[in-house]
Structure 1
Amino acid sequence: MTHLSIDAASHRKGQLITAFGGLMLTADIPLIRLSEGDAWSVLAVRSGLTFVTAVIVWLAIRLITGRSIPILPGRAAIAVVTFYILASISFMLAVFATTTANLVFILAFTPMFAALLSWVTLGERPSTATFIAMAVMIAGVALIVADGLAAGHFLGDLTALASAFCLSCAITVSRRSRADMGFAPLFSALVPAIIGLTMAGGPSHIVVEAPWWIVLNGLVVTPLAFWCLATGPKYISGPEVAMFYLLETIFAPVWVWMIFAEEPSRNGLIGGLVMIVTLIVHSLWQLVHNRRMLRTLAPRHPV
């Protein structure tokens, strides 16, 4: 097997792992909303259960295989954990401070943040098409945030933007280190859990009306989603990983509309559609471009 085919196989493996994580993540916001708890209580329970799952799985792997997977592989893992902590807290605040549509549309800016950070830190200069897509997406985000200012959830939109930036930072650092960061975001959930528990006023002040939804989220959905999404950068580029977060952008508003009948505002919908169409067009262009590059690099038999 040639080096090129090995790289292609690794790339496909990374895409499959990350795509599965992105699909699992689409259930996150609906499950949070279904739990009917306050922001800090949900943060404490969801993050605490995610941490418990991480410990159990890590110990099980060690017991069954006899090998110990590093939780923090190198100094870069500390930065990755920090960014995931900030992303988790800002995301949870945004869930309760803005509409689901606005939140996921703004989170769709993650790939563009990742592209810029890859340029600055990894020297991977974005193409002209990517710069054009960024400009269009900035206009879409501006429309959503302006609508949020008028509707009274401007702060929620800003925390959503902060979450997107922190996620892209975590992805970029993971990509740069090329280490297996699968457990890093799961063990980092301990800090948001402690913060949420403290802000809620202790265990006796936890308010979650339908706890089974957040238990399902914390024990299964969130750990699986973030393990897959954190493992992805080992095989594929940061911007590509960030693209799979867009599955939440597409499906989460649909689930919320079906369950809660929550419709996005006109400006929010326009801004979101602008971003989604731009990202789809850009992703298709990137796919075609990458295939052309692979054909160019493929070894040819002499005539």
Structure 2
Amino acid sequence: MAGNALAFVMTVCFAALVVMSRRHPGMGMAEISAYASLACVIVCWPLMSPVIPSAYELCVLAGFGITSTAIGYLLFLVGGRYIPSGEAGLIALLDVVLGPLWVWLAFGEDPGLATLVGGAMILGAVGWYLWSSYRDRSAAVPA
């Protein structure tokens, strides 16, 4: 139950961050991401294992944090200023849907037919929504 509550709080905070980045375009996203990461460290510190990772493991974790998390969030928040917040949220949720696909492709772990069908339905719905909203916006612009 605590994990679900933390996931909910994280989702609400991320949604607020996306909306704030659109509402206040002058905000520095790198600084805000750094403060958010610091707050996460403070909250999660008591929950950490007392075992300290090796130097190699720390380098791998740092590389993962910099390449996938820091750069990904920074680009998402900067790019999210140029599209509606709802669309940014849909694009962000694609990470959850595509996760099993990447694991299946990279490691051969079978996600199951139901997961693949459900993921395909979600990808189709998001693609249809984004395509139709793009078409509506381009039709509204005079040629």
TM-score bin (small chain): 0.7 to 0.9
Q: Which amino acid aligns with 1:206?
A: I
Q: Deviations over 1:135-183 (max 9, x none)?
A: xxxxxxxxxxxxxxxxxxxx5xx76566444422321232223333412
Answering whether residue 33 of structure 2 is matched by residue 190 of structure 1, we say: no
Q: Deviations over 1:245-303 (max 9, x none)?
A: 255346433332233333324433333222211111111100100101122xx6xxxxx
TM alignment of 1:75-90, pairs within 5 A:
none
By how many angstroms is 1:190 displaced?
Answer: 0.9
Asked if the contact 2:97–2:119 (Cα under 8 Å) also holds between the matched residues in 1, the reply is no
Structure 1 unpaired stretches of 5+: 1-89, 94-154, 299-303
TM alignment of 1:158-177, pairs within 5 A:
163-177=10-24
Answering whether residue 51 of structure 2 is matched by residue 205 of structure 1, we say: yes
| Alignment counterpart, residue 269 of structure 1, candidates 116, 126, 131 | 116
- Distance in 2 between the 1:238 and 1:280 partners? 16
Asked if the contact 1:256–1:262 (Cα under 8 Å) also holds between the matched residues in 2, the reply is yes
Which position in structure 2 is the counterpart of 1:105?
A: none
Secondary structure in 2 matching 1:192? helix
Closer/same/farther in 2, CA of residues 293 and 161 from structure 1, 3 Å limit: farther
Answering whether residue 95 of structure 2 is matched by residue 244 of structure 1, we say: no
TM alignment of 1:119-158, pairs within 5 A:
155=4
Closer/same/farther in 2, CA of residues 249 and 294 from structure 1, 3 Å limit: farther
Asked if the contact 1:200–1:206 (Cα under 8 Å) also holds between the matched residues in 2, the reply is no
Which position in structure 2 is the counterpart of 1:226?
A: 73
| Alignment counterpart, residue 63 of structure 2, candidates 206, 211, 216 | 216
Secondary structure in 1 matching 2:29? coil
How many residues align? The count is 140
TM alignment of 1:108-123, pairs within 5 A:
none
Structure 2 unpaired stretches of 5+: none
TM-score relative to the length of structure 1:
0.39
**Based on CA coordinates, which of the two structures has the bigger radius of gyration?**
1
Q: Which amino acid aligns with 1:194?
A: I
Q: Deviations over 1:172-227 (max 9, x none)?
A: 232223333412123210121233332115xx523578444322112333221111
Q: Which amino acid aligns with 1:205?
A: V
Q: Which amino acid aligns with 2:33?
A: P
Secondary structure in 1 matching 2:135? helix
- Distance in 2 between the 1:172 and 1:283 partners? 19
Give identity over the alignment, percent: 19
- Distance in 1 between the 2:64 and 2:22 partners? 27
Task: Report the aligned-residue RMSD.
Answer: 3.1
